[in-house]
């Protein structure tokens, strides 16, 4: 009997509804080429759901997703629905309940993608950002006092546990070892953030000591952000807290011109729970309906999903197809890449290249 992977699909809002179906076609092609089946199950949860029911997903949403091998997410967010509602009602609980404590994103200069930096060519920039994905600065601890008065203030508390910090740092060092690129850079701010960041540095030193063959260095987040622009060639694996990782894993794709094409994997590395794969871009309501969104972010996220499911060959096939299509000057190009093609034409070119 052939291998079968059960995938929960949440297209979500806006262009999520366009790019996910496009990506499914590409992934199905790779699956049939490699002799396995992707068993897609749709979950129609979005800001529409919230408007209709007051919830982003049903009360037993997490339980319904649990029985899958992976989750494939488009994007959530819609005008009129406050961001912190749409996200704390769906994306963030999924990351937490399924203990997807690693957010992994490639930063890679691709052929055919215009790069905002001077004098860079494909291959020059190629590293990974490893972000802590379930604790740290993303916390509901805190609150507001004296609301509506001149004395009003809010408190916002970040929590860094030793267990949570150590496991993300170990993931980063293990990744560097696995990639054969023995160099891990930590994002810190221990000169300004008084309690959490000196602790982060301590744990980075302690875990780093378990990997003596790996070079470990650290920069404060302010100068690190500047270095992403000034010398992005220098990095191999960069590890940061939930907030710092969030910033760096958008800045990296910004530097390589790939915001629209970058993928994001939310991993539970132990595979105790399903992991989730999504493009970095948002729901982009301004272009929704025109079918001009770039499908590469979703397709590449799909490739990372195949890899996580143990289908390394299919994953590599999809990644090569992306590079072939983008690298071919005759391929259709969506507006973000300077062309006038529709999403469907670019997706078809990638499918053909698989």
Chain-centre distance of CA 140, in angstroms? 22
CA 313 to chain centre: 21
User: Phi and psi dihedrals of 208, rounded to 5?
Assistant: -55, -35
The CA R_g of the chain, rounded to the nearest whole Å, is 20
Residue among 87 and 316 whose Cβ is closer to ligand IPM? 87
Shortest distance in whole angstroms from residue 241 CB to a second copy: 10
Site for ligand IPM in 164-203 (CB under 6 A): 191-192
Which of ligand IPM, a second copy, none does residue 62 bind (CB under 5 to 8 Å by kind)? none
Among 58, 153, 271, 340, binds a second copy (CB under 8 A): 153
> Of residues 87, 117, 225, 316, which one binds ligand IPM by CB under 6 A?
87
- Cα–Cα distance between 258 and 262 in angstroms, integer? 6
**Cα 34 to Cα 173: distance, rounded to the nearest angstrom:** 31
Closest approach of Cβ 191 to ligand IPM, in Å? 4
Alpha-carbon distance of 170 to 101, in angstroms, equals 12
- What's the rounded Cα separation, in Å, for the pair 248 and 271? 26
Nearer to ligand IPM, 65 or 91 (CB): 91
Q: Binding mask 275-294 vs a second copy (x if CB under 8 A, - otherwise)? A: --------------------
Give the chain's length: 354
What residues from 66 to 95 belong to the interface with a second copy (CB under 8 A)? Answer: 77, 82-84, 87-88, 92
Distance CA 71, CA 15 (A): 17
Residue written as tokens 């907030």?
Answer: 243
Provide the 10 A C-beta neighbour count for residue 230. 11
CA distance linking residue 241 with residue 133, whole number of Å? 8
Nearest residue (beta carbon) to ligand IPM: 192
- Pick 39 or 152: Cβ nearer a second copy: 152
Retrieve residue 274's tokens.
């399903």
Two structure tokens written together for 335: 């507006």
- 222 makes contact with ligand IPM (CB under 6 A): yes
Burial classification of residue 2, based on how many CB atoms lie within 10 Å of its CB (0-12 exposed, 13-18 middle, 19 or more buried): exposed
118 interacts with a second copy by CB under 8 A: yes
Report 213-272 residues binding a second copy (CB under 8 A).
220-223, 225-230, 242-243, 246-247, 249-251, 253-255, 257, 259
Work out how close the CB of 178 gets to ligand IPM at its nearest, in angstroms, rounded to a whole number.
23
* Closest distance of CB 116 from a second copy, Å: 5
Residue 116: closest CA among 282, 236, 230, 220: 230
Q: How far is the CB of 293 from a second copy (least distance, A)?
A: 16
Applying CB under 8 A, the site for a second copy has a residue count of: 67
Give the x-and-dash track for 283-322 against ligand IPM (CB under 6 A).
----------------------------------------
Q: Which does 20 bind (CB under 5 to 8 A by kind): ligand IPM, a second copy, none?
A: none
Instruction: Report how far residue 94's alpha carbon sits from residue 97's, in angstroms, rounded to the nearest whole number.
Output: 5
Contact 331, 350 (CB under 8 A): no
Closest of 267, 246, 268, 250 to residue 259, by C-alpha: 250
Q: Which residues bind ligand IPM (CB under 6 A)?
A: 87, 91, 191-192, 222, 246, 264
Q: Which residues bind a second copy (CB under 8 A)?
A: 77, 82-84, 87-88, 92, 115-119, 137-140, 142-144, 149-163, 189-199, 220-223, 225-230, 242-243, 246-247, 249-251, 253-255, 257, 259
């Amino acid at each position: 009997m052939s291998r079968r992977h059960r995938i929960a699909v949440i297209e979500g809002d806006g262009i999520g509804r366009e790019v996910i179906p496009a990506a499914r076609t590409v992934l199905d092609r790779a699956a049939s080429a490699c002799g396995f089946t992707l068993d897609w199950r749709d979950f129609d949860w979005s800001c529409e759901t919230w408007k209709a029911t007051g919830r982003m997903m049903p009360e037993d949403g997490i339980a319904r997703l649990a029985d899958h091998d992976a989750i494939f997410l488009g994007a959530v967010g819609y005008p009129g629905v406050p961001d912190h509602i749409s996200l704390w009602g769906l994306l963030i609980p999924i990351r937490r309940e399924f203990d997807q404590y690693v957010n992994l994103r490639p930063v890679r200069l691709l052929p055919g993608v215009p790069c905002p930096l001077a004098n860079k060519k494909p291959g020059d920039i190629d590293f990974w950002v490893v972000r802590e994905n379930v604790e740290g600065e993303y916390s509901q601890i805190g609150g507001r006092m004296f609301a509506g008065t001149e004395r009003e203030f809010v408190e916002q508390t970040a929590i860094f546990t030793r267990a949570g910090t150590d496991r993300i740092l170990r993931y980063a060092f293990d990744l560097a070892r696995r990639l054969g690129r023995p160099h891990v850079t930590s994002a810190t701010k221990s000169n300004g953030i008084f309690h959490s960041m000196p602790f982060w540095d301590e744990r980075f030193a302690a875990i780093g000591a378990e990997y003596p063959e790996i070079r470990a260095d650290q920069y404060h987040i302010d100068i690190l952000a500047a270095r992403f622009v000034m010398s992005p060639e220098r990095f191999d694996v960069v590890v940061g807290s939930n907030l710092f990782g969030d910033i760096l894993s958008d800045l990296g794709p910004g530097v390589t011109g790939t915001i629209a094409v970058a993928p994001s994997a939310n991993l539970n590395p132990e595979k105790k729970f399903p992991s989730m794969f999504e493009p970095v871009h948002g729901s982009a309501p301004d272009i929704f309906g025109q079918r001009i969104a770039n499908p590469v972010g979703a397709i590449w996220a799909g490739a990372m999903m195949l890899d996580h499911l143990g289908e390394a060959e299919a994953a590599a096939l999809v990644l090569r197809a992306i590079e072939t299509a983008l690298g071919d000057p005759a391929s259709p190009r969506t507006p973000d890449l300077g062309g006038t093609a529709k999403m469907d034409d670019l997706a078809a070119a990638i499918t053909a290249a698989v």
